[in-house]
Amino acid sequence: MYQTQILELFENWAGEKAEIITPLALSGSDRKYFRLTSKSRTALGVYNSDAKENLAFLEFSKHFLSKGLQVPHIYAEDLSQSIYLLEDLGDTTLFAFLTQQNQKTKFGPELKQVYQQVLRQLPKFQVEAGADLNYSLCYPRARFDKQSMMWDLNYFKYYFLKLAQIPFDEQALEDDYQTFTNYLLSAPQDFFLYRDFQSRNIMIHHDEVYFIDYQGGRKGALQYDLASLLYDAKAEIPEEVRAELLEFYLTEIQKYTQVDPQAFRTQFKGYVLIRILQAMGAYGFRGFYEKKAHFLASIPPALDNLRYMLNNWDLPIQLPTLIPVLEQLVNSEKLRKIGAQRKSLVIKVQSFSYKKGLPKDDTEHGGGFIFDCRALPNPGRYDEYKMLTGKELKVIEFLEKEPEVARFKTLVSQMVDQSVEKYLERNFDYLSVSFGCTGGQHRSVYMAEFLSRYLLDKYNIQVHKHHREWD
């Protein structure tokens, strides 16, 4: 029913019928997303049965837009049907961009500049927009208070520690939780806390950063969102870069509010820890309990972050039960095996020209996918694109405005997802995916680039990308 209602909402807004509606991959929530495309307009349609969450997201979006922040515009809404339409910001998350850049240079200057761009915007959310936000809309609580912290810590306890079969004394751990949350609450708490400020909730659109998924926001400490961004598990930001970006943020935040840098750095460590534990609770629930492979893939880098903390940082409080439990985690043989399994799958993604024949696969098992891109609109027919490839912005913009390209991308990713999930489940080690077009220059290169980013964004696997006619 909600798909029909979304189509009607789109038609009323656009003044024309949607020619294509494609479901987008689910993330860590139960919201349903669809890309709708008509002759001249495109939008994202959203269905979410949680009425309070919808209200928070829509009203926060309008408030942030009024403050000049780069969040998606709201095109239309029907809260009685739990649906709304959003500006389509494309497919490139900060994490996908990071993954692509790291194939060239590990956290090079261009990527660092993007993170600095993000950190210039963060204080505007926290201080400027947060000053007169309607916090009565916050859901499920108006503050990241003691109760909220205890929910996160118990989420970690029940959905990660227990499912990972780590033994602990429940009352002693509860006592440490009380000590830990009291310490966290000693930091100033009157700022907007975005709550899930990480690389998959930041989009790169027309070379600018945009922000999504802030409906869980509430009042809290400045340190939490910075910890979420810099210690985002799968982003695997080098420690020296984290230190540099922390100092960059401290310079930026002073433009908006007075902060004691030394106290901030000390309290920041505690917020890094609670954020890691909250994220691991989510990985446990979605991975161990719901059996979603791409959440299990985040466990090894999260453990690496935790290991670094335990080996290099001291908190100014005693946690005699929690710290040994965390040491058991990072030394767990079971969790190390999860990491080894997830990194064993290699996916070869390549582009080729049909004029020069099909790609050869000399591996033991062979097989895989070959997708024919020749049914897609061809930029190579136009003089302005003839000297370019599918890696370049003008070609990307040409293809991404075409409805059949969006549908093709969705169908390809759904088919490949099915194989990747099964291959991870059965510990297979190789899959090939090839894209062909007439010259192996525009459409096939574009699709190989897209799928490589998509797979690296979603799974903890190795992707070997090759453009046969150009590399």
In which residue are the tokens 């190789």 written? 430
Domain boundary among 322, 341, 360: 341
Looking at the chain, the whole-number percentage of residues with pLDDT higher than 90 is: 72
172 in the same domain as 114:
yes
pLDDT at 2: 85
Say if residue 274 is in the same domain as residue 224: yes
Q: Is the pLDDT score of 354 beyond 90? A: yes
- Nearest CA to 86 out of 107, 72, 100 is that of 72
Where residue 21 falls among pLDDT bands split at 50, 70, 90?
Answer: confident
Least confident window among 27-36, 87-96, 215-224: 27-36
CATH code, 40: 3.30.200
CA–CA distance, 322 with 309 (Å, rounded to integer): 13
More confident residue, 405 or 333: 405
Query: For position 138, what pLDDT does the model report?
Result: 96
Q: What is the pLDDT of residues 367-386, one digit of tens each?
A: 799 999 999 999 999 999 99
Q: Is the pLDDT of residue 104 over 90?
A: no
Mean pLDDT along residues 415-419:
93
Same domain, 41 and 177: no
At residue 296, the pLDDT reads 77
Burial class (CB in 10 A: 0-12, 13-18, 19+), 384: exposed
**244-296: pLDDT as tens digits:** 999 999 999 999 999 999 999 999 999 999 999 999 999 998 888 777 766 77
Give the tens place of pLDDT for each residue, 146-169: 999 999 999 999 999 998 889 999
Max CA separation in the chain (angstroms):
72
Q: What is the pLDDT of residues 307-328, one digit of tens each?
A: 999 999 999 999 999 999 999 9
Q: What is the pLDDT of residues 214-226, one digit of tens each?
A: 999 999 999 999 9
Asked whether the predicted pLDDT for residue 120 surpasses 60, the reply is yes
Residues 456 and 348 in one domain: yes
**Torsions phi, psi for 202 (to 5 deg):** -125, 125
Q: Is the predicted pLDDT of residue 340 greater than 60, yes or no?
A: no
| Closest to 233 (Cα-Cα) out of 193, 289, 272, 203 | 272
Q: State whether 349 and 454 are in the same domain.
A: yes
pLDDT of 28 strictly over 70: no
Quickly state the pLDDT bin for 343 (edges 50, 70, 90). low
CATH number of 259's domain? 3.90.1200.10
Judgement on whether residues 247 and 374 belong to the same structural domain of the protein: no
The whole-number pLDDT of residue 461 equals: 80
Instruction: Write down the pLDDT at residue 167.
Output: 93
Give pairs for 368-371: CB < 8 Å, separation 24+. Answer: 368/431, 368/432, 368/433, 368/434, 369/415, 369/416, 369/419, 369/432, 369/433, 369/434, 370/434, 370/435, 370/436, 371/412, 371/433, 371/434, 371/435, 371/436, 371/447
For 212, list phi and psi in degrees, rounded to 5: -135, 170
Instruction: State mean pLDDT over 21-28.
Output: 68
pLDDT score of 166? 92
282: helix, coil or strand?
Answer: helix
pLDDT value for 339: 57
Q: How far apart are the first and last CA of the chain?
A: 48
Which range marks the domain in which residue 39 is found?
A: 2-86
Q: Which of 326, 341, 356 is the last residue of a domain?
A: 341
Domain match, 108 and 215 both: yes
Instruction: Tell me, yes or no, whether 439 and 357 share the same domain.
Output: yes
| Amino acid 310: pLDDT | 96
Same domain, 291 and 373: no
DSSP designation for 278? H
Q: Are residues 370 and 303 part of one domain? A: no
**pLDDT tens column, 45-72:** 999 999 999 999 999 999 999 999 999 9
Tokens, residue 320: 């005699």
Where does a domain end: 341, 358, 379? 341
Overall pTM surpassing 0.85 (yes/no): no
Residue 140 preceded by cis peptide, ω within 30: yes
Same structural domain, 301 and 289: yes
pLDDT computed for residue 392 by the predictor: 83
Q: How many structural domains comprise the chain?
A: 3
Give the burial class of 448: count Cβ atoms within 10 A of its Cβ; 0-12 exposed, 13-18 middle, 19 or more buried: buried
Selection from 32, 242, 248 nearest residue 122 by Cα: 248
Q: Does one domain contain both 269 and 404?
A: no
